[in-house]
């Protein structure tokens, strides 16, 4: 695994298992830079759930993505985001 993948894995662990809002925000920023769509939306929802300090650019990015998804697809993405947080 490359160092970038290791860093992403560690951020994911911190965000999903430890509830680290800053890690969730870093993952979202990474997705925006890499022009992810669905994973960016999942990461946005995770960051929002964790209370990360989201900025207008985060909201604008995911609004554009969500506008292009069907209601069924959007529901699946939301379900995937919920599944990432451990109860």
Per-residue pLDDT tens digits of the chain, which is 87 residues long = 578 899 999 999 999 999 999 999 999 999 999 999 999 999 999 999 999 999 999 999 999 999 999 999 999 988 888 887 755
Global pTM reads 0.88
Distance, CA of 73 to CA of 69 (rounded, Å): 6
Q: Is 55 in contact with 86 (CB distance < 8 Å)? A: no
SS3 53: coil
Interhelix angle 38-49/21-33, rounded to 10 degrees, is: 160
């Amino acid at each position: 695994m490359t160092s970038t993948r290791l860093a992403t894995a560690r951020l994911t662990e911190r965000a999903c298992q430890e509830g680290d809002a800053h890690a969730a925000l870093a993952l979202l920023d990474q997705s925006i830079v890499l022009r992810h769509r669905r994973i960016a939306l999942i990461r946005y929802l995770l960051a929002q759930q964790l209370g990360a300090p989201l900025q207008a650019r985060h909201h604008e990015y995911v609004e554009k993505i969500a506008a292009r998804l069907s209601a069924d697809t959007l529901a699946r993405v939301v379900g995937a985001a919920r599944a990432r947080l451990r109860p």
